[in-house]
Structure 1
Amino acid sequence: MIIAWLLLLWNLGAPSFSVDEFTNLEMERGSLSAILADLAAGRDLHPPLTHLVVAPWLGIAGDSEWSARFIPVAFGLLSLALLWRLALVWLDRRHAWLAPALLALAPTFHLYVRFEKYYAITMALALLYLVCVHRWSARPTRPRLALLGLATVALLYTDYLAALFFVGTTGLLLILALLKTNRGLLVEWSLAQVASAVFLVPWLATVATQSASLHSQIRPDLAGAPIDFALKLGAVALSFGLGETLFPWRPPGALGLLSSLMLLVAGLLALRRSNSLGLALLTYLLLPIVGGALLFTAWAQTVPFMAFPNHVLFALPVFSVLLAIGAWHLSPKVRFLALALWVGAATTGLLSYHAGQDYLNPIYAVPTREIAATVQDNTARTPGALVLAEYDTGLPFYLARQATPVSVVPPGKVSAMAAPPPEVWLFSFGRDRTRVLEGDARARDWLRDNGYALVAAKSYVPTDPIYGALKRRLLSREVYDAKATLEQWRRGTRE
């Protein structure tokens, strides 16, 4: 646990905030009523508990990258402890230390637990819910049922998807186990869950508003197509089996995927001897992943397939348990080989994560804070200089935190400027789903038409050639060469 804690805290404040993080941060700076109003307006499409937990901490510790991510990291550590407890009661001590160890080294765990969002809290509460289910089913008492109800309410107010699938999965398993043997116990559990759901009634109006906001968002490429469903499943397999910071065509990545497959198959073979545990683990793993993929393909068609794995991150600990079962099912020599390959790939993925390389979603690797400092230093030497950047790039957020204010305008509105500035800094993102909204191309046309010349440009987070070729083939369109570009334009200068 100490090693995991140190790993999770290592360079915690180094990555810049991405759009989800600084949007949450801006909300959590406000009062309770302001947070609830933002959620009701659809600024964030999740329940309020995460914001209500993090906001008081920010008031005490400040809103730096390190302090904003500390609470999620603490819940990530709690997840490891809860997984140890679950693996111990489900299996034995061997699995109880190996499953959390595998989770603690998983690059996807680090990527999303060290993130100012609901992912880590959801994972911890989902595991707490499973602990409460086990305690109650082992010795059904009213106090334990009450604790299970409280865990259900907490999960409902943290993440709709986790509550839907984990509570639904538990109900399905209990029906299969108790329908013929103890209907009274099943009825008792059902009434407790209904009572827990009643606590969500005051939030239903906000749920309806958030649902409308969700359906008004831009649909990504391939949304609703059968291939979108398959790609979402593939994205989860890649994220859970290898991580999102190591490309599978790299030798360590290929070997890591092979070792994950080896451990998973061995785990499934081992579970043939335990029908009840095997059914429970597979249901808790597959129902959220497959059900979530169906939901986001058929109904909520606004989540790109590469962004789907973090929506079901709460199932990752169950995957780690399956890998641990597989490891102990193998012979000692094969186990050593499989775990060595897995740890090697995980270590490479973690190093890549900290280096900002091989990101499947490169927005997380853009050093926006450092770019803002560069822009601040340069614009300070040119009075009247203008910065063009969309809100979601994070540059307006970081420039607003600088000591000296800098004028920032969305690129699409540059033509409305009363007087042409002497110098313009254009910061743009390479885009997929949101490319239809960008005003970067119009801004460049306006700059050229008004006597500006491009005098310098720098790209950040270049697209891997193989990754770019795969995206180009899959999406049947050109893809960006780099995730972010900073351009300096000056009036009256020849290009």
Structure 2
Amino acid sequence: MLAVAVGLGAGALLLRLYRLAAQSLWLDEGSTWALIQSSWATLFADLFSPAAAYPLYHLLLKAWVALAGDSEWALRLPSAVAGAVAVGLLFGVARQFAHMRQSDSRATFAFSLAAAVLMSTAPFAIWYAQEAKVYSLLLVASILLLWATLRVVQHPTRRAWLTLLGIALLSIFLHRLAILLVLAIAVVWLWLAPVAQTWRVRLLGGAAVLTTSVGLVVLMARGLGSDIAETGAYIPATPPLALKLTLLRFSLDRGPGEFPLGWIVPFLILGTVGLYLLLRDARQPRPQSHAARVLLCFLCVPAGLFLAQLGATRLFEARYLLLIYPAWLLLLVYPLLHPARVVRGLSGALLAGVLLVHGLALTQAQYGIFSGDPVKEQYREAIAEVATRMHPDDLIVLHPAYIRPLYDYYMVRHTSDTPPEPVTFEAFKHGQHEFNMRDWYAARREAFAGYYRSFLIIAPAHARTVDQPLLETDEYGLVGIYYQYSWEQRKWPCGIWRTHGVHVFCQDSPEAYETGALHPPGTPYAAQFGADILLKEVMLKATLPQGAGVYQAGGNLPLTLFWDVVRQPQHEYITFLHLCQQCDLPPPAGSDGPPLEGYLPTTIWLPGKPVHDEQTIPLPADLPPGEYQLYLGLYPSGEADEAARLPIQATHPVDRNRLWLGTVQIVAR
């Protein structure tokens, strides 16, 4: 049967490697990456720190990253492998469980195979197998604990006990919540203790388990509750609601209203029948009932303790109950062990329905991880929008503050330039009641003073937990509203990009934020485009120590264009920039778009009201080093052919209705 387990694991691995790096890292994965940047000494010390939730995982991942690098694929690969290993292990544990019940060989194989296949295809398991977090490895630990407990119950040798204790200790280092399973094992011991043991031993053991359980609930309430403002979005749930949400997540990896109701039916039927049969078997006095009692303890004790802390915190995430997920899967396939052929047949049909639903859920538009749609927060895409537009003198605001690791991770992957140091408003982590509008004004004045353009990278779902919208109809709190209504702040909006879970706002200021200082002048360019538009100045900005005019492949060429008009234009015009060596050929780099991303169209430009337009040419990483010519032109919106370009009157050279701005040097990355 080892070959079957290996085959199941290999098949599961293929599923888990499919589109492994297709989704951006999201908030929690960014935190993982940031934590493994800590020193080895710090991570070793975390093993014994009660504040560290899963220290052993970070040590293991740091070692892996030292060998494989920290790409998205490399960060997630350990989870994918662990998820595949869990499938093979569950097949073995299910066989052990069925043998303890003295089930026949056909039922044993069907039971084991069904459990492994369910885990292999389950959206919930695949999600965590494609996430750079501890939970897929925790799944392995929970299965190993179940295996070791069944082994001790069946053959309580010293070696079996030492193995169980060793796995339990490693599991607690892997994730502190594994202690919930340790308490489940203690309940198993009390339940299955030999009758010969005195009532005092049972009483003392029960008191110890009860005391530990109460203490653990208190610790969970304090630990999880203190995370409310620092871990982003969460689900406030009472115990009954948490049970419902757990059922939906375990079954479909969905929330309420995110799937057709019929999808949940086979899970409800199998779960109900399985629980009934499990409770019935656990009540039997014969030794064969021991396996059922172990499974019942692994299912109910951790869930009960976790639900108890919800009475204080209301802080729920289904991943915290992943410890009981293997027991849940065994519960679903438990009817296959029933001696009646009709029960097995109906259960098999329902399990086929479950597999069908798994496939539908995995590929469901908007929600399925294999759908091709973004289902994780798109920090990669949002930060790319900033990286290809940013200037060295831009202000970049991150909100909330704890998305900073994603900025650090992705910005250096999108540009070879040194990115601006971002600004965060740390006081917002204390919540809206401790950071009012007056505080926001003061913090903003201090942070923004002297800048002419800023970008806001905001994760709205996380931001609203610390910067609550003033009105229920508002999408953002104080920070987001400031950018959403730029015109009302007497600022120019210069771009809005909405990706899944992450939004980017660009805001330009006619004069410097807060100080009101005029923009520093650039190089004069007396050029007229068509009958209406005047180019007054051009400012090339420095991104390297060599100064303005020298730029690095893979980075940006930033410049500001200073415009005015003779009279208000009647047409919207598009700006294009060409960077070329053989300038009669298509340029190897350039940009093409309306001024200020179209938010300040030329049709509203007025004489005597100058406009400064920050433009950026993203430079390909493989752009050959050398001297390049920089050209500028305008054409009417919708008429991109060369013949439609506006004629230019200028003292500087003009080539094919393109104004020569100068020569720049490109150096290798």
TM-score, structure 2 as length reference: 0.59
In 1, are the aligned partners of 2:233 and 2:465 still within 8 Å (CA)?
A: no
Letter in 2 for 1:122: L
Query: What are the Cα deviations for residues 437-478 of structure 1, in whole angstroms up to 9, with x where unaligned?
Result: 7652464389657642224323233xxxxxxxxxxxxxxxxx
Change over 3 Å in CA distance of 1:137–1:281 after alignment to 2: closer
Map Cα deviations across residues 244-287 of structure 1 (whole Å, 9 max, x no partner).
Answer: 3x765533xx2221010111122234335522233332321122
Identity within the alignment, %: 20
Equivalent of 1:366, from 350, 367, 377? 377
Whether 1:326 and 2:335 are equivalent positions in the alignment is yes
User: 1:147 aligns to what SS in structure 2?
Assistant: helix
Query: 1:239 & 1:325 partners in 2: Cα distance?
Result: 20
SS in 2 for 1:255: helix
Conserved? CA contact 2:187–2:297, under 8 Å: no
Which structure: greater helix fraction? 1
What does the per-residue CA deviation read over 1:417-437, in whole Å, with 9 as the maximum and x for residues that have no partner?
465434322222222662337
1:65-464 matches, within 5 Å, as 65-91=72-98, 92-163=108-179, 165-181=180-196, 215-218=225-228, 228-244=238-254, 248=257, 250-251=259-260, 254-271=261-278, 274-275=281-282, 276=289, 277-298=291-312, 301=313, 304-305=315-316, 307=317, 309-326=318-335, 329=338, 331=343, 334-335=346-347, 337-352=349-364, 365-379=376-390, 382=391, 384-390=393-399, 391-393=401-403, 394-402=406-414, 403-407=416-420, 408-410=422-424, 414-417=444-447, 419-431=449-461, 434-436=465-467, 440-441=479-480, 443-444=482-483, 451-461=490-500
Closer, same or farther in 2 for the Cα pair 1:216/1:96, shift >3 Å?
A: closer
Structure 1 range deviating more: 416-425 or 2-11: 416-425
Q: Secondary structure at the match of 1:365?
A: coil
**Local SS of the residue matching 1:12:** coil
Q: Distance between the aligned counterparts of 1:216 and 1:32, measured in 2?
A: 26
Contact 2:111-2:333 at 8 Å conserved across structures: yes
Seen in structure 2, the aligned counterparts of structure 1 residues 293 and 98 have a Cα distance that, compared at 3 Å, is same
Per mean C-alpha deviation after superposition, the further-off stretch among 438-447 and 85-94 is: 438-447
Secondary structure of the structure 2 residue equivalent to 1:384: coil
Q: Aligned residues, how many?
A: 441
Residue type at the aligned position of 1:369: R
**Alpha-carbon separation, structure 1, partners of 2:408 and 2:445:** 19
* Distance in structure 1 (CA, Å) of the matches to 2:197 and 2:110: 33
Take 1:224 and 1:430, find their aligned partners in 2: how far apart are those partners? 15
Which is bigger in relative contact order (C-alpha 8 A, separation at least 6)?
A: 1
1:3 is aligned to 2:11 = yes
Q: Conserved in 2, the CA contact under 8 Å of 1:18 and 1:364?
A: no
Q: 1:104 to 1:223 in 2, by over 3 A?
A: closer
Q: Could you say if the C-alpha distance between residues 445 and 272 of structure 1 is closer, same or farther in structure 2, counting changes exceeding 3 Å?
A: closer
Amino acid at match of 1:286: C
* CA distance in 1 between partners of 2:177 and 2:356 (Å): 32
Q: Which has the larger radius of gyration?
A: 2
Kindly indicate whether the alpha-carbon contact (under 8 Å) linking 1:241 and 1:261 is maintained by their aligned counterparts in 2: no
- Residues 71-80 or 276-285, more deviating: 276-285
Per residue, is there more strand in 1 or in 2? 2
SS of equivalent to 1:434? coil
Give the AA of the match of 1:426: L
User: SS where residue 143 of structure 2 aligns?
Assistant: helix
Amino acid of the residue matched to residue 454 of structure 1? P
The Cα offsets for residues 10-44 of structure 1, whole Å up to 9 and x where unpaired, read as 111222222221212122133221324678888x6
- Inter-partner Cα distance in structure 1 for 2:233 and 2:495: 36
Question: Which of the residues 31, 36, 51 maps onto 1:23?
Answer: 31
SS of residue in 2 equivalent to 1:157: helix
In structure 1, how many angstroms separate the alpha carbons of the residues matched to 2:233 and 2:56? 33
The SS at the match of 1:117 is: coil
Distance in 2 (alpha carbons) for counterparts of 1:221 and 1:117: 16
Letter in 2 for 1:88: R
Distance 1:10 1:56, change over 3 A: same
**Counterpart secondary structure, 1:378:** coil
**SS state of the match for residue 177, structure 2?**
helix
> What secondary structure does 2:466 align onto?
helix
- The alpha carbon displacement at 1:414 in A equals 4.5
**Distance in 2 separating the partners of 1:345 and 1:66:** 27
Structure 1 unaligned spans of 5+: 198-207, 462-482
What residue number does 1:470 align with?
none
Q: Structure 1 residues 386, 231: CA separation in 2 closer, same or farther (over 3 Å shift)?
A: same
CA distance in 2, matches of 1:378, 1:216: 38
Contact 1:24–1:117 under 8 Å retained in 2: yes
Alpha carbons of structure 1 residues 218 and 135: separation in structure 2 relative to 1, 3 Å: closer
TM-score, length basis structure 1: 0.78
Superposition RMSD in Å: 3.7
